[in-house]
């Protein structure tokens, strides 16, 4: 675009390897994954600052924390987070903050260690804390540019590339040429529309009213000790709430409350949930309705969708953003491999093949979590001081334990997801699982030994020579790591995203065929 000097669009490059539409958490994560690999990346984002009004995601799960560890920023997220994992690992169910306890779960959401199972605990942090950190990381990556105040408004593509129309706040436009475009522009994705994709799925019937309030004295009235979630089972205000920090800032979700009622009755709802006159001051509001939707395609040609632009799930269990980060990592290393010359066409095809079953499972499990929330747990006599009250609370506790356990102890979903039917996995019939984690020494994780490309774990020195040679022939980056102490198979080939691509006790008959399959250039 020949553009006169002085226009806001002047600061945009004319061409870039990857353009990321949307600098929410998923778009920023794409840029981190790509930028660390030296891929030139432009993130186009309308919001000049990260809004603190809508904390939304609070649960950064252990899998996402593994990615942050690999990126070298897990510690920074913890430092910036207002609640540390050792503050509490509990979810409490009660009739009010100052009311009776019904039941509780401890060690929830990956906030406690589980043997060797993962190297990083989960972290409770408002979404804006993660977004601010990722913005800082992207700004520091030499290969990346974050351009705020711009919106993607048009997409055209052919075999050679994508032309993305970007509009500044003054309404002026520029066209940026890119090798690939990733649409991370959230639920109302322009990119999704532009590639002719559409969400399929449903919307929950119940409105919910989210808000943030401050009430510095409220802790004095909390009868249940520290918790990250307080589920309020009380017919005046069936709700879910928790601390954002320890200085009196809280997030609050009133179930079944529409925007009009919520705006009018916020103070009453908070006081009913607290069980005392809380003196709360509402700082921001965020009405939302759960959606169970997935785009009918995640790719057209050189354009991909990731995160909420591609799939939406109810927030119960804390999976939406985390699943989007998984998309970003999967797509990021694969696009980088293609641009680096060693990734074949099946590698990009594998993005949808590998991610879609995971997204569908997340939607299913999050929908199941939504089936029982505070309104469904209401019952007579929960607050009664007599025998009827004890019976009601006993029955409620049983129901809570049975219905909500999978939501709080979901490591099988978070870490156990298998990649089925992938065209770029050689282990088993196209099925792969995460490399089992182990500690090599205090603070030193097996995952810390893995390379940016593939890693071949060998039990004996000199093992896997033909695989190493085949990788070299095809230009596939491969680090060989000797792990003499491990009891597993003799050779384990691990992908950049910590999934096992192939494992065996002997080198394969044809290592070139193996390497071609995992780099997406197989027959």
* Interacting positions 180-209 with ligand FAD (CB under 6 A): 184-186, 190
CA distances from 320 to 85, 128, 159, 360, 473 (A): 21, 15, 32, 11, 40
Element holding 432 (H helix, E strand): none
The window from 78-86, 227-235, 321-329, 454-462 that contacts ligand FAD (CB under 6 A) reads 321-329
- Tokens 């981190």, residue? 32
What is the contact mask toward ligand FAD in residues 17 to 36, using x (rule: CB under 6 A)?
A: ----xxxxxxx---------
The C-alpha atoms of residue 373 and residue 480 are separated, in whole angstroms, by: 49
Cβ(321)–Cβ(127) under 8 Å?
Answer: yes
* Interacting positions 52-91 with ligand FAD (CB under 6 A): 56-59
Beta carbon of residue 290, minimum distance to ligand FAD (angstroms, whole number): 8
Cβ(493)–Cβ(483) under 8 Å?
Answer: no
Q: Does 262 bind ligand FAD (CB under 6 A)?
A: no
In the bound state with ligand FAD, the residue whose beta carbon lies nearer, of 254 and 494, is 254
CA distances from 218 to 223, 246, 256 (A): 11, 11, 24
Instruction: Give the total of residues touching ligand FAD (CB under 6 A).
Output: 33
What is the contact mask toward ligand FAD in residues 425 to 454, using x (rule: CB under 6 A)?
A: ------------------------------
In the bound state with ligand FAD, the residue whose beta carbon lies nearer, of 254 and 346, is 254
Q: Does 322 bind ligand FAD (CB under 6 A)?
A: yes
Q: Does 319 bind ligand FAD (CB under 6 A)?
A: yes
Q: Does 44 bind ligand FAD (CB under 6 A)?
A: yes
H-assigned helices in 304-344 = 320-339
Cβ(25)–Cβ(57) under 8 Å?
Answer: yes
What is the contact mask toward ligand FAD in residues 109 to 138, using x (rule: CB under 6 A)?
A: ------------------x-----------
* Interacting positions 285-314 with ligand FAD (CB under 6 A): 288, 307-308
Q: Which of 40, 324, 326, 463 binds ligand FAD (CB under 6 A)?
A: 324
Residues 6+ apart with CB under 8 A from 118: 62, 63, 65, 66, 110, 411, 415, 437
H-assigned helices in 53-189 = 62-70, 74-80, 127-140
Q: Which residues pair with 388 in a beta bridge?
A: none
Beta carbon of residue 28, minimum distance to ligand FAD (angstroms, whole number): 7
Count of C-beta atoms within a 10 Å radius of residue 236: 14
Beta carbon of residue 271, minimum distance to ligand FAD (angstroms, whole number): 21
Binding site for ligand FAD (CB under 6 A): 21-27, 44-47, 56-59, 127, 151-152, 184-186, 190, 210, 288, 307-308, 315, 318-322, 324
């Amino acid at each position: 675009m020949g553009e006169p000097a002085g226009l806001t669009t002047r600061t945009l490059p004319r061409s870039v390897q990857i353009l990321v539409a949307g600098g929410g958490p998923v778009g920023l994560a794409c840029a981190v994954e790509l930028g660390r690999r030296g891929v030139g990346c432009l993130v186009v984002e309308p919001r000049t600052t990260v809004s603190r009004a809508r904390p939304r995601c609070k649960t950064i799960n252990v899998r996402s924390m593994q990615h942050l560890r690999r990126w070298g920023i897990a510690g920074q997220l913890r430092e910036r987070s207002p609640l540390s994992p050792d503050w509490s690992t509990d979810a409490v169910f009660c009739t009010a903050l100052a009311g009776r306890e019904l039941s509780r779960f401890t060690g929830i959401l990956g906030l406690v260690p589980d043997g060797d199972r993962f190297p990083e605990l989960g972290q409770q942090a408002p979404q804006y804390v993660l977004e601010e950190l990722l913005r800082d990381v992207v700004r520091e990556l030499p290969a990346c540019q974050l351009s705020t105040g711009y919106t993607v408004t048009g997409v055209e593509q052919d075999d050679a590339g994508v032309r993305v129309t970007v509009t500044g706040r003054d309404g002026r436009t520029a066209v940026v040429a890119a090798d690939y475009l990733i649409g991370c522009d959230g639920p109302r994705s322009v990119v999704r529309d532009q590639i002719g994709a559409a969400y399929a799925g449903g919307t929950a019937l119940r409105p919910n009213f989210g808000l943030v309030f401050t009430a510095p004295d409220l802790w004095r009235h909390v009868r249940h000790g520290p918790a990250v979630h307080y589920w309020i089972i009380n017919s005046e205000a069936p709700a879910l709430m928790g601390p954002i920090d320890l200085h009196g800032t809280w997030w609050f979700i009133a179930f079944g409350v529409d925007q009009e009622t919520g705006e009018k009755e916020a103070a009453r709802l908070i006081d009913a949930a607290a069980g005392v006159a809380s003196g709360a001051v509402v700082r921001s509001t965020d009405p939302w309705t759960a959606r169970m939707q997935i785009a009918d395609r995640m790719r057209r040609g050189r354009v991909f969708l990731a995160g909420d632009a591609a799939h939406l799930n109810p927030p119960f269990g804390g999976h939406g953003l985390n699943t989007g980060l998984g998309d970003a990592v999967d797509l990021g290393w694969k696009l980088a491999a293609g641009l680096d010359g060693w990734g074949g066409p099946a590698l990009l095809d594998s993005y949808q093949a590998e991610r879609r079953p995971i997204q569908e499972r997340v939607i299913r499990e999050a929908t199941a979590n939504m089936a029982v929330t505070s309104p469904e747990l209401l019952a007579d006599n929960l607050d009664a001081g007599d025998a009827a009250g004890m019976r009601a609370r006993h029955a409620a506790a049983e129901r809570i334990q049975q219905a909500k356990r999978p939501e709080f102890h979901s490591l099988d979903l978070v870490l156990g997801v298998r990649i089925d039917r992938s065209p770029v996995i050689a282990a088993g019939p196209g099925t792969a699982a995460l490399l089992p984690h182990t500690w090599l020494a205090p603070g030193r994780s097996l995952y810390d030994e893995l390379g940016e490309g593939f890693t071949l774990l060998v039990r004996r020195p000199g093992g896997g020579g033909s695989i190493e040679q085949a990788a070299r022939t095809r230009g596939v980056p491969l680090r060989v790591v000797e792990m003499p102490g491990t009891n597993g198979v003799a050779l384990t080939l691990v992908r950049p995203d910590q999934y096992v691509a192939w494992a065996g006790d002997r080198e394969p008959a044809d290592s070139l065929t193996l390497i071609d399959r995992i780099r997406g250039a197989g027959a």
